[in-house]
Amino acid sequence: MDRSYLRPVTDDVFFISSRLKEIDPSYYVVYNLLKSRYEVHSKEQRGNTLCFVVPYDRLDARTLEYAARTRNPFFGKRGDKAEEEKWLKTL
């Protein structure tokens, strides 16, 4: 699949791309040239790596808050249901 329209974002003014790795080490940021938007992808997802579209026109602290709020550490994993339910109650 040709993904030449996705430009990796490794350096930004507020270091959002590197700070996202504190939330999930597999996250990386790209700028989608076709849709003129920022996207967060995960190296651990197979196939479609898109995790979420940044709902803002720039990368800033709101992006970190959004990533932390929407991240599901149990997505696509089999594990202890009790742990998952405990995590869900914290939301």
Structure-token match 């720039």, residue found: 58
Judge whether residue 75 has pLDDT over 90.
no
Q: Is residue 12 assigned to a domain?
A: yes
Q: Which domain holds residue 61?
A: 6-89
At 15-66, the pLDDT tens digits run 999 999 999 999 999 999 999 999 999 998 878 899 999 999 999 999 999 9
For residue 2, the model assigns a pLDDT of 80
Q: How many domains does the chain have?
A: 1
Amino acid (1-letter code) at residue 22: E
Q: Pull the structure tokens for residue 39.
A: 């996207």
- In angstroms, rounded to a whole number, what is the distance separating the alpha carbons of residues 34 and 4? 10
For residue 41, the model assigns a pLDDT of 94
Q: Is residue 1 assigned to a domain?
A: no
